[in-house]
């Protein structure tokens, strides 16, 4: 989890997508989808989640213990599991974040009464009793149907510690590691889909120079391996993710990719991480509930910098890896706001508004447009922390507007990007200039054409015409997410203030006409 922010002026952003020949001065938007062509596959792993030992993200959010009166399965709360299964979470990154480089896995196995107890110095000085350890994490991942993204300790750990941990997880019971796991209640080995080799090694993970980190990376990539029989051959091998850049800083991208381009047979990586949060200034000061249109516009402009970051780092990666063998994994992203009044320092608890949902949709659209290089992303974080999908309070559970964006974007998982051109228009607030609309089109696995639409203007609807040459569109139907205000939130007293509603478009001569509400996200399936 990031503890620093690369300062810089907020710059005006160019219009997203492929602009039409000229900008329109009104709010009319024409969209043309080239359904006969196709772009890159959108990896479902861009919808990954992040669960760090931080605040009530794990304890109270995921784990309540088997003796809790809150319904649970082996200590993992059932309402959270059901909600996450419904959005088909592809992977969960754990145990951190900054916590990962101080985590020693042996503290979290065996008899819960005898596990190591420590203090989480990164986040609020909370006591860490390690009740949620390796077995509990894999139980949780299996319950929600997600792959495991395990971050190993490079900052304060050793290669042997990391190697022993992955052996404990993946080796069969012919080995000492597998026998120990079996003795602790799990005979069958687990698989690790992604292996994070450290976290933010440029910051809380050790403040390492890129050259020093790459020297650490090589033996970790060599000796920390999966022993699971199903992970011994491509394409099922464990994917090793190196620490990469923060925001727009190119130093780690250059350092790691240069080292990778000069590697020999003895080590390799499959991914490079990028951490980039939506935050205007550091420390985060923007309120998650009480904000006006100026704050809305500034944060939205800040999130659109993701487009420039991806272009910057992709260009460097292309220089060393023109075949795009190494994926860019944006494994920490989201809105970082001021903590809610009255909440504990370091627990990073904030509300989640319609604005935040729109920011999530914009990021998903940006990731989709860069699907040739972006192979994964993990929003920060899953429950109760930062831009959470879910909020809990004792036995109560609440789905946030950002949760519903994940639900709406299910057709994007492993879909194929389609070329689209549109005149985005403008939305202005003071000196901030943003696109009026953002658009992405895909062909889902079942062959359906889907259109994502975001209206960034909180005051004006967008009149949209959609043409799909060669396709006689008969209409479109799906859902729209909007609310009375951009700062509308769901609360335990009013949980349905910001929820998706049915939405449709009419067709005339094969052209779709859409009246997209102000401050909204729509997902439509085009009927042929």
Bridge partners (DSSP) of residue 118 are 128
Distance CA 183, CA 110 (A): 9
Spatial distance between the Cα atoms of 241 and 245, rounded to a whole number of angstroms: 12
206: Cβ contacts below 8 Å, ≥ 6 apart: 101, 154, 155, 156, 198, 213
Q: Measure the CA angle with vertex 385, ends 352 and 302; round to 5°.
A: 60
Instruction: Determine which one of 200, 270, 295, 307 is catalytic.
Output: 200
461's CB contacts (< 8 A; 6+ apart) are: 27, 455, 515, 516, 517, 518
Decide if 293 is catalytic.
no
Q: How far apart are CA 56 and CA 54, in angstroms?
A: 6
Q: Residue 278 is inside which H or E element, if any? A: strand 271-278
Q: Which residues on neighbouring strands pair with residue 63, listed in sequence order?
A: 59, 76
Six-digit token pair at 414?
Answer: 């492993």
DSSP letter (8 states) at residue 283:
S
- 3-class SS letters over 194-214: EEEECCCCCCCCCCCCHHHHH
- How would you class 120 by CB atoms within 10 Å of its CB: exposed for 0-12, middle for 13-18, buried for 19 or more? buried
Cα 455 to chain centroid, rounded: 22
Task: Give catalytic status of residue 200 as yes or no.
Answer: yes
> What are the residue numbers of the active site?
200, 332
């Amino acid at each position: 989890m990031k503890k620093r922010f690369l300062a810089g002026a907020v710059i005006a952003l160019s219009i997203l997508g492929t602009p039409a020949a000229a900008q329109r001065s009104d709010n009319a938007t024409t969209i043309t989808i080239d359904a006969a062509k196709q772009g890159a596959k959108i990896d479902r792993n861009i919808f990954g989640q992040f669960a760090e030992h931080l605040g009530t993200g794990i304890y109270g959010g995921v784990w309540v213990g088997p003796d809790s009166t809150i319904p649970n399965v082996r200590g993992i709360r059932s309402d959270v599991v059901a909600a996450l299964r419904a959005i088909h979470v592809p992977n969960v990154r754990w145990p951190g974040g900054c916590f990962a480089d101080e985590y020693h896995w042996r503290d979290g196995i065996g008899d819960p009464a005898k596990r190591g107890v420590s203090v989480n110095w990164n986040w609020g000085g909370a006591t860490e009793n390690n009740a949620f350890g390796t077995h509990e994490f894999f139980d949780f991942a299996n319950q929600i149907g997600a792959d495991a993204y395990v971050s190993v300790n490079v900052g304060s750990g050793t290669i042997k510690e990391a190697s022993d941990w992955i052996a404990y997880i993946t080796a069969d019971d012919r080995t000492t590691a597998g026998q120990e796991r079996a003795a602790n209640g799990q005979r069958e080995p687990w698989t690790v889909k992604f292996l994070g080799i450290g976290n933010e090694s440029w910051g809380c993970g050790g403040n390492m120079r890129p050259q020093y980190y790459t020297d650490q990376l090589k033996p970790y990539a060599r000796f920390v391996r999966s022993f699971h029989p199903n992970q011994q051959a491509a394409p099922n091998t464990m994917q090793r993710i190196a620490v990469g850049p923060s925001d727009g800083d190119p130093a780690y991208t250059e350092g790691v990719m240069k080292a990778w381009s000069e590697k020999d047979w003895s080590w390799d990586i499959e991914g490079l991480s990028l951490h980039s949060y939506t935050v205007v200034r550091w420390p985060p000061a923007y309120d998650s509930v009480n904000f006006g249109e100026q704050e809305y516009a500034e944060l939205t402009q800040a999130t659109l910098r993701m487009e420039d970051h991806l272009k910057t780092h992709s260009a460097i990666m292309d220089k060393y890896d023109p075949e795009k063998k190494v994926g860019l994994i944006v494994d920490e992203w989201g809105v970082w706001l001021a903590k809610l009044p009255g909440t504990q320092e370091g627990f990073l608890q904030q509300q989640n508004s319609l604005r935040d949902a729109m920011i999530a949709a914009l990021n998903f659209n940006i990731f989709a447009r860069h699907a040739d290089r972006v192979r994964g992303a993990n929003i920060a974080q899953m429950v109760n922390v930062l831009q959470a999908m879910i909020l809990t309070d004792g036995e109560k559970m609440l789905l946030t507007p950002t949760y519903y964006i994940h639900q709406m974007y299910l057709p994007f998982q492993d879909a194929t990007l389609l070329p689209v051109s549109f005149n985005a228009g403008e939305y202005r607030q003071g000196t901030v200039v943003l696109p009026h609309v953002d658009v992405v089109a895909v062909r889902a696995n079942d062959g359906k054409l889907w259109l994502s639409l975001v209206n960034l203007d909180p005051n004006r609807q967008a009149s949209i015409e959609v043409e799909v040459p060669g396709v006689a569109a008969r209409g479109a139907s799906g859902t729209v997410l909007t609310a009375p205000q951009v700062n509308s939130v769901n609360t335990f007293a009013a949980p349905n203030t910001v929820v998706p509603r049915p939405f449709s478009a009419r067709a005339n001569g094969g052209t779709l006409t859409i009246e997209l509400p102000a401050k909204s996200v729509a997902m439509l399936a085009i009927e042929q």
